[in-house]
């Protein structure tokens, strides 16, 4: 696969078109070996991450005002009606004034279209860049660099995740722990009777101590099967709740293959799931609708949501995966 074909496929995927398996595999291999196409993929990723802005309500009035400033179009001028003796007068076809040629019609139409487009672009850009946050302005800057052939500042040589929110990698993850591949978040001290707890294993974590990770006894609470309780080094108990989202009323829990050996580490996709290189989830995933919060979810090619769903980075602050700079994988809770 050459660069031209690679960029064509990346653009098609960015526009929502599906790519077959063989083409997707070749696309992934080419991007991994080509810095130029990797930068192009990064640009599309950051472009997809910039939130849409609403057009101001006075935009139409401003466009119409611009058209009015160009002046009215001269009315059509009819040629004199010729009359032949003995025959009824035949109306002639209106003859346009000399300036009203085909070329000038297209020129005038183009000028009007360009004027309207310029106003629209200026309004949108002024909202998305000039009036946006520093992170969004940095994203727009990175897109411009990637489209001009220069890699974004600090971008890796390999393709970045499509759809990632700019600079979220610097944010600290919540107080996560992992047990048997599933992710839980701290909710504070627990005051639970020992009779309600059952030992289920060990979690290796440093919590928020900053020291070395140690093995802590993990217990299940009979009252809440989705909760996990840890016996803390201080002798007290700490409660952790499952990180879940719902899809069709069914709970799905966040999973990971990483140890999450201390608070502040982000869970990523499990081993065997390659991060997508396109906004539609390809070549790893395909779109599968939205969850109960309206967040788009994806499934592996050929699978259904019952085998698990993926969520792209860049979700809103109300989402259970908010702030995560990586794609995440969620499986149904038994």
Task: For 122-158, write each residue's pLDDT tens digit.
Answer: 444 444 434 444 444 444 444 344 333 343 333 333 2
Same domain membership, residue 156 and residue 60: yes
Q: Domain range holding 189?
A: 176-242
Same domain membership, residue 219 and residue 136: no
pLDDT at position 180, please? 93
Structure tokens at 38: 């990797």
Coil/strand/helix, residue 192:
coil
Same domain membership, residue 98 and residue 47: yes
Q: Are strands 237-242 and 309-311 parallel, antiparallel or unpaired?
A: unpaired
Cross-strand partners of 184:
177, 242
Rounded Cα distance between 281 and 284, Å, is 6
Series of mean pLDDT values for 10-residue runs along the chain (334 residues): 80 74 73 76 67 62 72 51 43 43 45 47 42 43 40 34 32 89 93 91 93 94 89 93 94 92 92 90 94 95 94 91 93 92
Query: Is residue 115, in this structure, part of any structural domain at all?
Result: yes
Domain count, the chain: 2
Long-range contacts of 79-85 (CB under 8 A, 24+ apart): none
Same domain membership, residue 237 and residue 196: yes
pLDDT at position 143, please? 37
Which residues, including other chains, have CB under 8 Å from residue 3's CB and lie 6 or more apart?
30, 34, 36, 37
pLDDT at position 122, please? 43
Which residues, including other chains, have CB under 8 Å from residue 176's CB and lie 6 or more apart?
183, 184, 185, 243, 260, 263, 265, 266, 267
Query: Is residue 84, in this structure, part of any structural domain at all?
Result: no
Query: Is residue 288, in this structure, part of any structural domain at all?
Result: no
Q: Which of 160, 185, 212 is the last residue of a domain?
A: 160
Same domain membership, residue 184 and residue 139: no
Structure tokens at 248: 């069709």
Q: Which of 106, 126, 160 is the last residue of a domain?
A: 160
Same domain membership, residue 109 and residue 42: yes
Rounded Cα distance between 36 and 326, Å, is 22
Q: Which of 222, 242, 262 is the last residue of a domain?
A: 242
Same domain membership, residue 154 and residue 192: no
Query: Is residue 104, in this structure, part of any structural domain at all?
Result: yes
Asked if residue 173 lies in contact with residue 328, where contact means CB atoms within 8 angstroms, the answer is no
CA distances from 219 to 190, 200, 228, 334 (A): 12, 5, 6, 18
Same domain membership, residue 105 and residue 40: yes
pLDDT at position 22, please? 74
Same domain membership, residue 144 and residue 67: yes
Burial class (CB in 10 A: 0-12, 13-18, 19+), 303: middle
Query: Is residue 19, in this structure, part of any structural domain at all?
Result: no
Query: Is residue 260, in this structure, part of any structural domain at all?
Result: no
Query: Is residue 237, in this structure, part of any structural domain at all?
Result: yes
Query: Is residue 275, in this structure, part of any structural domain at all?
Result: no
Same domain membership, residue 125 and residue 56: yes
Same domain membership, residue 134 and residue 189: no
Same domain membership, residue 220 and residue 102: no
């Amino acid at each position: 696969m050459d660069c031209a074909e690679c960029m064509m496929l990346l653009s098609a995927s960015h526009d929502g078109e599906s790519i077959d398996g063989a083409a997707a595999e070749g696309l992934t291999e080419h991007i991994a070996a080509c810095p130029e196409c990797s930068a192009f993929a990064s640009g599309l990723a950051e472009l997809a991450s910039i939130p849409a802005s609403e057009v101001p309500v006075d935009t139409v009035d401003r466009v119409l005002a611009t058209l009015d400033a160009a002046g009215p179009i001269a009315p059509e001028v009819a040629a004199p009606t010729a009359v032949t003796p003995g025959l009824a007068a035949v109306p002639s076809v209106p003859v346009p004034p000399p300036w009203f040629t085909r070329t000038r019609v297209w020129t005038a139409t183009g000028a009007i279209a360009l004027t309207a487009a310029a106003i629209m672009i200026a309004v949108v850009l002024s909202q998305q860049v000039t009036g946006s946050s520093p992170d969004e302005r940095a994203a727009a800057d990175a897109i411009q660099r990637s489209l001009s052939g220069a890699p974004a500042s600090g971008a890796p040589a390999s393709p970045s995740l499509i759809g990632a929110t700019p600079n979220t990698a610097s944010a600290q993850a919540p107080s996560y722990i992992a047990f048997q591949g599933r992710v839980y978040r701290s909710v504070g001290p627990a005051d639970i009777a020992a009779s309600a707890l059952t030992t289920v294993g060990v979690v290796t974590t440093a919590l928020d101590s900053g020291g070395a990770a140690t093995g802590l006894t993990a217990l299940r609470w009979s009252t809440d099967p989705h909760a996990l309780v840890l016996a803390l080094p201080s002798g007290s108990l700490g409660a952790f709740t499952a990180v879940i989202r719902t899809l069709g009323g069914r709970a799905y829990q966040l999973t990971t293959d990483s140890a999450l050996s201390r608070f502040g580490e982000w869970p990523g996709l499990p081993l065997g799931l390659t991060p997508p290189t396109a906004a539609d989830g390809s070549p790893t995933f395909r779109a599968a609708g939205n969850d109960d919060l309206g967040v788009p979810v994806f499934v592996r090619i050929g699978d259904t949501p019952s085998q698990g769903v993926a969520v792209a980075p860049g979700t809103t602050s109300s989402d259970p995966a908010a702030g995560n700079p990586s794609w995440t994988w969620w499986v149904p809770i038994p």
